[in-house]
Structure 1
Amino acid sequence: MAEPSRPLRVLIATDTYPPDVNGAGYFAHRLAEGLAGRGHRVHVVCPSEVGDPYVTVDGAVTEHRLRSARLPFQPSMRAAVPLGMGGHITRLLRRFDPDVVHAQSHFTLSRSAMHRGRAEGIPVVLTNHFMPDNLYAHARVPRSMQSAVGALAWKDMVRAAGEADHVTTPTPRAAGLLREKGFAREVEAVSCGIDLERFHPRPRDRSAARARFGLPDRDTVVFVGRLDAEKRIDDTIRALARILPERDAQLALAGIGAREQELRALAAELGVADRVFFLGFVPDEDLPLVYAAGDAFAIAGVAELQSIATLEAMSTGLPVVAADAMALPHLVEVGRNGFLFPPGDPESLADRLLSVLGSERTRRSLGEASREIALRHDHHRSLERFESVYVRLQGATPVPLRAEREFSARPVAV
């Protein structure tokens, strides 16, 4: 494995970054912090969470927050304003002179950074976290149009990925999907990784963690993530209603999203409102306590390219019940650390939950296996792999396209 002979200079470009709540943003943040912790110089360019642009130093990471505006259908989310973006990124590249640009999406800001990086002769890495299914609800795409919109979105993604010198994605399933959609070059699967020291089994903290979130002391199924349509949390609530005659159980949902009121209404309709706890936004520093409060983790989503939350739950030692969809089967060894269920089948989900909530001995055995599987996803391994990619690309810096060089030289107002 290639080792850096000196601290690297890495520019991470991302269209979402904390305080945004999503897997891609969290990964970008952990990557930045992890690389900085290994002695590298790391700058992040991302949208401003307050609208106005600013630069700040967060620990060892320098953040360049670009001017942003609220998205039309998602007032809680912001996107960088295109006007002046290219010129700002070009000046940042020339001042910082990074060894590599690592983009976290193919959207506006990340794409501009990729394009400008190539124009400056800087190697570009792209990590794909994209699934059209995660955008349909946000953009309010009618179901009748989703197939056509998805095909166009994938075509655009593949075209943008062609600008990168190296493309990664979190799992083999996600890499295979990108190839299925027409990307002809190599795609490397590099796990998003998990901080095994931060997320670890802590059974002695269970009662205190439940008290911290106002949860009664009973069997607890947890979910961490956005309360949005593609997560299919309604299936988990329906499953909970089915298991209550047999188990004294409850569901704790940590996260916010557009469907919260619908989910509350569903819980009331099914007569389980007193068993579904909406914890709201949980600060990153408190997330380990959410998992510590649980006996099992359930995820019903069908658009997961890896699922960092599932990895966190596994690292904490929780059994997992997951939809048999996309990359989730990569994390579940059926009967060893949990079970899969057919997507959209609350009855099967309920049956699997009853299995993992069985005896204390069963839970402990499944949880120990979850932890063992999570060890394969140590974020230090992921950081080492990205370091190796960066070092290798330094010896094969691309020659900028003439048109790109001319484009980058044009004056751009900021």
Structure 2
Amino acid sequence: MIIMKIVLGADQYPEYINGAATFTARLAAGLAAGGHTVDLLWPSADGRQDTYLEQGVRVHRLRSTRLPGRPRMQVSTPRGVRRQVEDLLQLAGPDVVHVQSHLGLGRTLLRTARRAGVPVVATNHFMPENLLHHVPLVRRFPDAAGRLAWRDLERVYGDADLLTVPTGRAAELLAAATTLAPADVVSCGIDLDRFAVDRPAVDGGAPTVLFVGRLEREKHVDELLRAFALLPPALGARLEVVGMGSLRPALTLLAGTLGVAASVRFLGAVDDDALRAAYARADVFVMPGTAELQSLATLEAMAAGLPVVAADAMALPHLVRPGVNGRLHAPGDVVGLADALTALLADPGLRTRLGRAGRAIAETHALGATVAAFEDRYAWLAVTRAGVRATGRSLATAA
């Protein structure tokens, strides 16, 4: 194995919990554990610049500013971080740069790396649906704004040496929306041991439904609450909602309006130990989101042995196989979602069987395999870049 200097950069950051940030942190830690020198660039959660060591990774929090209308979301702008990125890249002297987005920090890092002759891997976690509702000016024109957003991604990621996406469905979406080169599929991966749970064959307690994710429009937690209100009272079911987001006040109000507030717990953002405990308490995991390019939370639930009820949308059908490890419902079908939940909550034996199958599927997404896959790609790019420098060819010609 070639030991390398690697710089990772993402516009998503851990305090604003999402799959891209979680993946970036786990990949960085896995690479550092393998002996690589890893620098990780993230926007600061409070706007102030900082550098510290975490799990063997040098973490650099870059200057950021609050996104208008989103008091808990910070963004780094190209103008605001250009000099910092240039200085950090010179200090790190990387063999390869890996960006996780095409937005302010990501595009600045990618373009700075290109000017410095450093090869770049770009992973796409983006769908317009995950971003546009955060920007008030474009909410009225979602279709046009979505097309412009894809064009912007195409311009930025067109300068990368290698593209990756977490699922085959994500690759299809990128190919349909852009003219970029075909992307390699590399799962974001999960730490299987971290989420493993020993579940009793029979549990006589009140069954618990769990959702983990951002409380934003594309997750459709409002539909989950409406479906939960339709469950037979005899089940005595409870719902736990883990995550933060702009819709929490509205969702809390909706739970009260539906008459289920006493059975619903909004836990907010939680640490790793509390997250594992939530998976351990749950009997069924639900993901009604329609903009999932992989869904790490669903993978984590499967690793914890939970059956899954999910929307039949985007990449979720790649994880959830009806009758094998869970059930799918049509997006927006609240009654169908309620029926799927009722069937699983009423049958402990079925939950156990589906949960075991889900764990087996999750085992094909081990984090170690993901880290190794990126190590291989980094090494290929670094070696190819060295050969290009020696011959004067372009990297594209060498590929």
Q: Deviations over 1:143-197 (max 9, x none)?
A: 5410110010011111211111000011000011000012341201111001001
1:16 aligns with one of 3, 12, 24: 12
Contact 1:15 1:105 in 2 (8 A): yes
Counterpart residue number, 1:339: 327
1:119 is aligned to 2:128: no
1:58 aligns with one of 54, 72, 75: 54
SS at match of 2:384: coil
Taking structure 1 as the reference length, what is the TM-score of the superposition? 0.90
Counterpart residue number, 1:107: 103
Contact 1:15 1:46 in 2 (8 A): yes
Instruction: Indicate the larger mover: 164-173 or 141-150.
Output: 141-150
Q: Deviations over 1:35-65 (max 9, x none)?
A: 1111111001111122121211113100111
TM-aligned CA distance change 1:142 to 1:111, over 3 Å = closer
Counterpart residue number, 1:402: none
Contact 2:53 2:59 in 1 (8 A): yes
SS at match of 1:197: helix
Contact 1:66 1:81 in 2 (8 A): no
Match of 1:120, as an amino acid? A
Contact 1:47 1:66 in 2 (8 A): yes
Query: CA separation in 2, counterparts of 1:112 and 1:81?
Result: 8
Query: CA separation in 2, counterparts of 1:179 and 1:288?
Result: 36
Taking structure 2 as the reference length, what is the TM-score of the superposition? 0.93
Counterpart residue number, 2:27: 31
Counterpart residue number, 2:74: 78
Q: Deviations over 1:361-406 (max 9, x none)?
A: 111100000100000100111100000000110122277xxxxxxx
Query: CA separation in 2, counterparts of 1:101 and 1:273?
Result: 47
Match of 1:376, as an amino acid? T
Match of 2:312, as an amino acid? D
Displacement after TM superposition at 1:88 (Å): 2.0
SS at match of 2:314: coil
Counterpart residue number, 2:272: 284
Q: Deviations over 1:266-297 (max 9, x none)?
A: 11111111111111111123211111110000
Counterpart residue number, 2:133: 137
Displacement after TM superposition at 1:349 (Å): 0.4
Counterpart residue number, 2:295: 307
Q: Deviations over 1:126-153 (max 9, x none)?
A: 0100011011321135654101100100
Counterpart residue number, 1:368: 356
Contact 1:158 1:178 in 2 (8 A): no
Counterpart residue number, 1:408: none
Displacement after TM superposition at 1:217 (Å): 4.3
Counterpart residue number, 2:372: 384
What stretches of structure 1 of length at least 5 have no aligned partner?
208-215, 400-414
Contact 1:68 1:78 in 2 (8 A): yes
1:394 is aligned to 2:390: no
Match of 2:254, as an amino acid? L
1:351 aligns with one of 333, 339, 347: 339
Match of 2:108, as an amino acid? S
RMSD: 1.8
1:329 aligns with one of 312, 317, 334: 317
Query: CA separation in 1, counterparts of 2:189 and 2:158?
Result: 25
Query: CA separation in 1, counterparts of 2:82 and 2:343?
Result: 54
1:268-283 map, 5 Å: 268-283=256-271
Contact 2:27 2:371 in 1 (8 A): yes
SS at match of 1:28: helix
Displacement after TM superposition at 1:19 (Å): 2.1
Instruction: Indicate the larger mover: 361-370 or 260-269.
Output: 260-269
Q: Deviations over 1:103-139 (max 9, x none)?
A: 0100011111111101111110001000110113211
Query: CA separation in 1, counterparts of 2:24 and 2:157?
Result: 18
Match of 2:218, as an amino acid? E
TM-aligned CA distance change 1:82 to 1:142, over 3 Å = closer
Query: CA separation in 2, counterparts of 1:264 and 1:48?
Result: 29
Displacement after TM superposition at 1:67 (Å): 1.1
Contact 2:78 2:107 in 1 (8 A): no
1:143-158 map, 5 Å: 144-158=140-154
Contact 1:319 1:366 in 2 (8 A): yes
Q: Deviations over 1:174-228 (max 9, x none)?
A: 0110000123412011110010010112326x99xxxxxxxx9411000011111
